[in-house]
Structure 1
């Protein structure tokens, strides 16, 4: 693994580049960008997937989102979906600059919100030849409609009104308000997946000092609530897609909705018994996702002389 930086316009992005065993810079490799969940960093699940994909012969890049982790971008602690999608495009720019990466054989794998960002980037950047989602979560509907997707879009209005009041207060000198990604103190009403998200991000299981479980309230919420990563997916996504999720995940509706809408070559894998967070670091589920992603990317990032499928 190499620690690298790459440009995203004026922002310096921090990444970890994973190389296959026996790496030879004179050869030409397929490459995969891995995209971390909202609130995550490259050292967590995105890095785990990148390392495992490198073991399968791919060059793999995990990076911190702009405005987060070790990457630049002001203000920090901003979750901006449009910026997150642009981050993926910048990562592709970087991979294409490497002499040992085949510029025509680049894919993307995203986890949770990173999965939806990966789909949106693939829809609008056809340098990406294939995309995989793992425990996908479309962040706009997730925030508007709740973890299980049961709330109407109108339920978001109260939060937007609160954000408007807070923005006015901040413009007049109040302290900047921050909100968490995952519940800092789950209770009996907290969905199972979010209890497990607390365990992942806020205990030694995967806690990292650069993942501080916080984002700007007013500047993030106004961007998140109006975002739909899958808007126009029926028309714009022509590349092959693999979708992996657990049968017990409260977020499963994001994956099944995406699968129902996609018209490009598609593969849906529902893993019996798996919950949302299981695919972050539980070996049984991570290995299953890699076992599905490896042949998918091998086939669809094959050298031009072979047929894609």
Structure 2
């Protein structure tokens, strides 16, 4: 039976300005900062291009070796398609509603990929200047986007076939979220961006700590003070308030992603980058390092 709790959970109006024209974003972010990185720091990223080509691009998986959404879904071109869909729907009936709350929230977050690509292309020194730049930073950003695009495709098709959610409401919410955009608090500064990711990104931050430890630890401390802005923070379904908070509460109650997971990630990254052992820092850098270590050590 189709769930009727808005999409599956409460909505989020937030800072909607009813005096604005209808094309105005449903939620607004104020006090945004831009271009906080001085020109000499931009040159550091330019100087890292050969390193990025050698060490970063190898983490992009070739398309022909990558999984695709169709690998996990009924094949529409097969004789058994309808039977496969029926089996999928029967199995989906067994899942609790809260599971679909999380799946919908995750899908909408993934479908807002244009916002993340836009954010990547605001970063000074690493943006894709032409839309098809061969800079290793640009190649990485496009490759990352292409890989991520599969996630939303898979969840979207699964949720549609499951019959468990109001897909039109889901689609409206995705359109709202992309229209709102997102301020990731990068300030067009790659130092502020890189530390938000693990896997390949940990290598970039390690390299930044090697080249410019003072600026890197200050950027890390700055992002910790600001708190990490979650991609779906501005999620809104056109009806209600507090959509993101309710989605987050369900995800935390299910143990999908909890405050402890967040704390564990911070602790892991601070240890991986040896923040506590940094030497030769300025007074401000030493203070920033101490703050990072303190946050990483909090339960």
TM-score, length-scaled by structure 2? 0.26
Greater gyration radius = 2
Whichever structure has more strand as a proportion of its residues is 1
TM-score, length-scaled by structure 1? 0.25
